[in-house]
Amino acid sequence: GQRRKFIPCFDDFYALAVTAAETEVPAPAILDIGAGTGLLTAFLMERYPSGRFTLVDLSDKMLGVARERFADKPDVRYVPADYLEHDFGERFDLVVSALSIHHLEDKDKQRLYHKCFGLLNPGGLFVNADQVQGDSPWLDALEERVWYQGIAQSGLTEEEIQAGRERIALDRESGLAEQLEWLRTAGFCDVGCLYKYLHFAVFLGRKPLEE
């Protein structure tokens, strides 16, 4: 689909997100925030076939696509809600997200990271595969140019590329280093980045075993 063309590193990006989502719980409870049509969940289901999945997204329409995609999977719950405000009423072994959190303002990202910490069981992991800002304005512009050159050769039409750039102009990307710091401030340990290609990064934090 189009998403694959807009993300030159698509396969590695999603593969690393799934690899990063480590748990030894036999039937883990997994929360996918900003789940959309369930793309990340689909990859995670291959790794954790007995996992219990909760997909939350503001768009009931996108969750409708996920419902069709996972129609034969009994252990999937769909929550059409604002994940920043919703009370989930349970805890999870993994909280994951792909290409959603960059839509939030900085202060809301920080609020969300605190919330994710609270939503995890001790030892649980938060994994975010998302777009991040370059480390300086110059680097940001360089990454943007390299990305643009890559998608210009992907077979997308000029209109599709322009529409994509307009969507991206509305994003509220934050730097990677500051987001790792926000995770530490929220209480996470073992915070780090496992993968980065231009603006695309997979980073994570673990909730300590002792609360």
Is residue 170 predicted with pLDDT exceeding 60? no
Greater pLDDT, 86 or 169: 86
Q: In this structure, is residue 202 part of a structural domain?
A: yes
Taking residues 164-187, what's their average pLDDT?
Answer: 81
User: What integer is the mean pLDDT of 33-56?
Assistant: 96
64 SS3 class: helix
Question: Of the given ranges (10-24, 54-68, 157-171), which has the lowest mean pLDDT?
Answer: 157-171
Q: Are strands 189-197 and 200-206 parallel, antiparallel or unpaired?
A: antiparallel
Banded model confidence at residue 2, pLDDT cuts 50, 70, 90: low
Give me the domain span that covers residue 44.
2-206
**For residue 41, is it within any domain?**
yes
Residue 25 falls inside a structural domain: yes
Instruction: Tell me the mean pLDDT in the region 111-119.
Output: 98
Single-letter amino acid code for the residue at 64: G
* Torsion angle of C-alpha atoms 85, 91, 92, 95, degrees rounded to 10: 20
Contacts of 34 (CB under 8 A, 6+ apart): 56, 57, 58, 83, 97, 98, 99, 100, 101, 103
| Per-residue pLDDT band at 35 (split at 50, 70, 90) | very high
Compute how many other C-beta atoms are within 10 angstroms of the C-beta atom of residue 140: 17
Q: Does the pLDDT value for residue 134 go beyond 90?
A: no
The number of domains in the chain is 1
At 103 the three-state DSSP class reads helix
Task: Confirm if 126 and 116 have CB atoms less than 8 A apart.
Answer: yes
80 is a domain residue: yes
The answer to the question of residue 64 being in a domain is: yes
Query: Is 90 exceeded by the pLDDT of residue 189?
Result: yes
Structural domain includes residue 63: yes
For residue 140, give the CATH number of its domain.
3.40.50.150
Helix axes 10-20 and 39-47, enclosed angle (nearest 10): 50
Residue 169 has pLDDT above 60, yes or no: no
Average pLDDT over the chain, rounded to an integer: 90
What separation in angstroms does the CA of 127 have from each of 16, 23, 93, 120, 204? 10, 12, 11, 12, 4
Q: Give the global pTM.
A: 0.90
Residue 211 within a domain: no
pLDDT at residue 74, rounded to an integer: 86
How far are the Cα atoms of 29, 71, 142 from residue 25, in angstroms, in the given order? 9, 24, 42
Question: What pLDDT does residue 173 have?
Answer: 74
